[in-house]
Amino acid sequence: MKIFLIGYMGSGKSKIGQKLSEMLGFNFIDLDAYIQDKEGMSISEFFTKRGEIYFRRKERDYIMELLDQDDVVIALGGGTPCYGDIMDVLVSEPDSTTIHLKTSIPQLVSRLWTERAKRPLIAHLSTQEELTEFIGKHLFERNVFYLKSEQSVVTNDKTIEDIAIELQSLLE
Ligand code: S3P
């Protein structure tokens, strides 16, 4: 069984994925960390040195490579399902499920504001108002893909543990 966690930057995919994998006794793979290991550089360096278009190509190659895995929780990058045919491939993958972690814009802003330097798409934004506007527009475009997920969970005001328990019960 493969569980793909989908959602915007800051929606908690990595932390929730880690917790859920422990509860299920599954492996956990964070796609960004996997790419960083394989490429030998941080995501920010990757964007600077190779550009976003090349990153999106490699992101597709690596997620396809991971489809061989079993009993695994995979936290995607926020943009992974929003390019090419990736979301359709994931939804039609046998013995797997796609789960959308939905987080409100104010919560995303408060989580991402202090961490924006690590995220190349938002690192240049200089006020919380700009970040709010950016996320609003970006989510509007990306929700078309995120909403194709087979299941979804609202993460606002819940602990990592509570969300992982909720996900576990969705999977039963
Ligand atoms: C991105 C999200 C990031 C990372 C890259 C691009 C995006 O992953 O893949 O910075 O396009 O939303 P997280 O969602 O894990 O922050």
Q: pLDDT of the chain along its 172 residues, tens only?
A: 999 999 999 999 999 999 999 999 999 999 999 999 999 999 999 999 999 999 999 999 999 999 999 999 999 999 999 999 999 999 999 999 999 999 999 999 999 999 999 999 999 999 999 999 999 999 999 999 999 999 999 999 999 999 999 999 999 8
Q: Is pTM, for the whole model, over 0.95?
A: yes
The secondary structure of the chain in percent helix, strand, coil, rounded to multiples of 5, reads: 55, 15, 30
Q: Is the CB of 24 under 6 A from ligand 1?
A: no
Q: What is the pLDDT of residue 15?
A: 98
Question: Which residue owns the Cα nearest ligand 1 atom 12?
Answer: 78
Q: Is the CB of 29 under 6 A from ligand 1?
A: no
Q: Is the CB of 7 under 6 A from ligand 1?
A: no
75 CA → ligand 1 middle, Å: 11
Place of tokens 């976003």: 52
Which of 11, 27, 48, 3 minimizes the C-alpha distance to 142?
11
Q: Is the CB of 77 under 6 A from ligand 1?
A: yes
Q: What is the pLDDT of residue 63?
A: 98
168 CA → ligand 1 middle, Å: 24
Decide if 31 contacts 76 (C-beta within 8 A).
Answer: yes
**For strand 2-6 and strand 72-75, is the pairing parallel, antiparallel, or unpaired?**
parallel
